[in-house]
A and B are shown apart, each in its own frame.
Chain A
Amino acid sequence: MSATSETKPVKKRQGVIEHTLSDISHTLEQSIFAEDIARQRGLLQSIDPRVKVLSMVALLIAVGLSRSLAVIIGLYLLTLVLARVSAVPMSFFIKRVWLFMPFFTGIIALPALFITPGPTLVQLPLGLMITRTGAMTALFLLLRVSTSVSLAILLVLTTPWNSVLKALGVLHVPDVFVLILGMTYRYIYLLLHTVNDMFLSRKSRVMGRLSGAEERRLIAASAGTLLGKSLHLSGEVYLAMQSRGFRGYPRTMDTFKMRALDWACLIGMLLVTGIAIWLGSQGTQ
């Protein structure tokens, strides 16, 4: 994702407005990209969203509980295969996980190599040594985080967001809560556009650079205004909903249908999960 490269005029320090604007466009771009892939033809796209949500949570638990690195690596390879057959661009899928996420986790895992007590694995100059337990624990952390992130990305990339939300019903998430999540997701984009307009209009009237204090005042005023707008809008949305017959609880139409492929996939994934949890509880390496 290269949203930041689009802000052409390179200055010494990016202003707050520009920074926030580029973050907003990055978020918008990210979800448009996801919707794009969700509309492609592929294995995961053709499977019932409820099966996908259940399988993802089951596999996440298997990854979380595993005491064996081999099992976690196996599950990561499974996500790669699933991405491959679901028209998810491989380079994006791998880069997204290994470039962004463990940037963080990598920095956190690094000291563990040296400070975790245990038998020496590699002796380094300056008296530093990597311990065997340190290497193992760092690997556990890195692999667990990247496999979990891959699973989550796979679901979101291959399923339109409203289907993901509807499918949460199988996890016994209450209907009202699903409705609220859906409305929130929808209004996040409206508010992002509003903020985008507010900042763009401000930017178009600013010559030169704002001082730190001015920038802070601007950000606070925008946040305050946005809050007022949000509350006002919620009143209007309520009236609109009421005029269309909303009485405080949602009615959903269940349009999902389980087909043979869905059942096969569900049984397959639960089997994989079961085996992974069993193997994961056995091995210590």
Chain B
Amino acid sequence: MLHSPAYMHIPDGYLSPIISLVLFLLTLPFWYRGVQRLRQMVNARSVPLIALLAAFSFVIMMFNVPLPGGTTGHAVGGALAAIILGPEIASIAISIALIIQALFFGDGGILAIGANCFNMAVVLPYVSYAIYRWLSAKSPITSRRRLVGAALGGWVGLTTAAFFAGVEFGIQPFLFHTANGTPLYAPYPLSVSVPVMVVPHALVASIVEAVITVLVVAYLQRTNQPLLELVEKPELVAEASRPRRLRWLYVVLAVAIVAVPLGLLAPGTAWGEWNSQQLASRGLSTIPQGLAQLENLWNAPLSGYNLPSLGNSNAGYILSAVVGIIVVAVVAWLFTTLLVARKPNTSGKSN
């Protein structure tokens, strides 16, 4: 079609329905994550917000971007969406734009929706965002480092997406062919399909993606900085959703702690944690000398989860578990307080 960026929109017929299904299933957890994040951020507002953002993603794919040298191309806009909305929400917005393209405009196949969403709505935004954040970490909103991050994020993100598409094409002839070796879907092996997808994208489409991302970020730096801070603003995250999620975790933890003594009822040693005598009883007659020497090198403070002073080994086991949990909890608490205490320091006190 007229407005598809190179051949990133995979039509039906290139991939086996089975691979399409697998890629769809791989995309599902990312959609779930996106919906969770949306609920956290805006809750009821999310419906119109995501609709408008998806419409924006669709329209941005129609923009012609001129490259130095005279060629023009279309961007996916995935890197830009990820930088402004975060990869989770960008993933949802781009997916919806892709689904509408497939359903109503014949860009990309319908069974291939999973594959197209995986490449352009998962790989592209997550990779771009990781690179952008890595390069622009802790830099001010107007910093040039953010521009470098945006450009590189767009380029690497789309090139990686093209690589994935190449791999998806390349495994088809290997997995699906008739008895006489006729490939049923995309006909080329990995050695052809990967370079054919990656090289042209790296030279044109990914550069278009980089150009549009860096120019829009630069434009927003000059004119609309709050848009660039959207992801990092903590006040957008609804406070209410936080403790509930933690409480759920505590329930799981409590169940686990209560269930642990059940292990006492089971006979035998934990699999793989045998000492040399137990190894011998399992038919391993010769123990390597090095292992035999090392065996007594390290004794854990509560070795075998038993306190020597306590006669009853079961009571000792439970006590060890309680001590273990307390130690882990204290370490985790120390970690979080240290990390949280840092933040007000940078903005509040002037040291």
Contact = CB atoms under 8 A, between A and B. Distances in A.
A234 B1 CA distance: 29
A105 interface: yes
B211 A216 contact: yes
22 contacts: A13-B70, A16-B65, A16-B66, A27-B105, A34-B104, A57-B111, A112-B187, A115-B188, A137-B182, A149-B106, A152-B12, A181-B96, A184-B58, A191-B59, A212-B67, A212-B68, A220-B212, A228-B227, A234-B53, A235-B48, A238-B47, A248-B44
Given A115-B188, A234-B49, 20 more contacts: A64-B111, A100-B1, A140-B182, A140-B184, A140-B185, A149-B109, A156-B106, A180-B47, A190-B55, A191-B59, A215-B66, A216-B66, A217-B219, A221-B219, A223-B212, A223-B216, A223-B219, A224-B224, A234-B53, A235-B48
Nearest to B1: A100
Interface string B179-198: 11111111110001000000
Interface of B: 1-3, 7, 11-14, 16-17, 20, 43-45, 47-56, 58-60, 62-68, 70, 72, 77, 80, 84, 96-97, 99-100, 102-106, 109-111, 173, 178-188, 192, 211-212, 215-216, 218-220, 223-224, 227
A227 interface: yes
A237 interface: yes
A246 interface: yes
A156 B3 contact: no
A138 B96 contact: no
Contacts of A195: 59, 62
Chain A contact residues: helix, strand, loop or mixed: helix
A61 interface: yes
Interface stretch (A17-25, A80-88, A252-260): A17-25
Interface in A88-105: 100-101, 104-105
Contacts of A179: 47
Contacts of B45: 234-235, 238
B180 A180 contact: no
A107 B104 CA distance: 25
Contacts of B66: 16, 212, 215-216, 219
B71 to A, nearest CB: 10
B187 A137 contact: yes
A284 B180 contact: yes
Contacts of B56: 191, 226-227, 230
Contacts of A108: 7
Interface in A168-189: 176, 179-181, 183-188
